[in-house]
Amino acid sequence: MAKTVFHRWIHDPAVFPHLVSLYPPLLGSGIRVPRVSRDWTEGTVTMRVRPWTANAHGAAFGGSLFSATDILYGMMLAAQLGKGFEVWTKTASIDFVNPGRGKLTLRVQVTPEEVASIRERAAREGGRTDAQHVAVIVDESGETVATAHHTMRVRMRR
């Protein structure tokens, strides 16, 4: 299958944040990806709560918070694993801890050691394994707003 310019750009850590920030569901929710490191080991997601992204109590809409937690980890993991692997969200849950107001931030890290461990498990487990990730969204004062638990399915391509 021929890769389009879009496919090349989406896998470029310098371009990815701009493209994903323009994705309509994220754009409308006030979700941005201001930064992804060149080696795909670190990234940041932000969300500014506005009247159109708030719930009836003036806090961040839960669906938007959940969306913010599902953007980076899988993409960063897939980028580090390389073209021989596929990664997607298998299950996810979220705990809403405190009302989110103002600017909210989520920092994501995927270490080379984590990637090596996942690669080894996939090889041992018949070409597929699961990876666990916990995403924590904080407000400007550092208080936890939400914690999401993701199980990612990692599969070696055939």
Number of Cβ within a 10 Å radius of residue 21: 16
Residue 114: enclosing H or E segment and its boundaries?
helix 112-124
Biggest alpha carbon distance in the chain? Answer: 49
Number of Cβ within a 10 Å radius of residue 45: 28
Partnered with residue 152 across adjacent β-strands are: 89, 131
Partnered with residue 103 across adjacent β-strands are: 48
Query: Domain limits at 94?
Result: 5-156
Strand ranges (DSSP E) for the chain?
A: 31-36, 42-48, 85-96, 103-109, 128-138, 144-156
Q: Look up the CATH number of the domain holding residue 94.
A: 3.10.129.10
pLDDT exceeds 70 at position 109: yes
pLDDT exceeds 90 at position 3: no
In whole angstroms, what separates CA 111 from the centre of its chain?
Answer: 14
Q: Tens digit of pLDDT for each residue in 66-97?
A: 999 999 999 999 999 999 999 999 999 999 99
For the whole prediction, is pTM greater than 0.85? yes
Partnered with residue 42 across adjacent β-strands are: 109
Domains in the chain: how many in total?
1
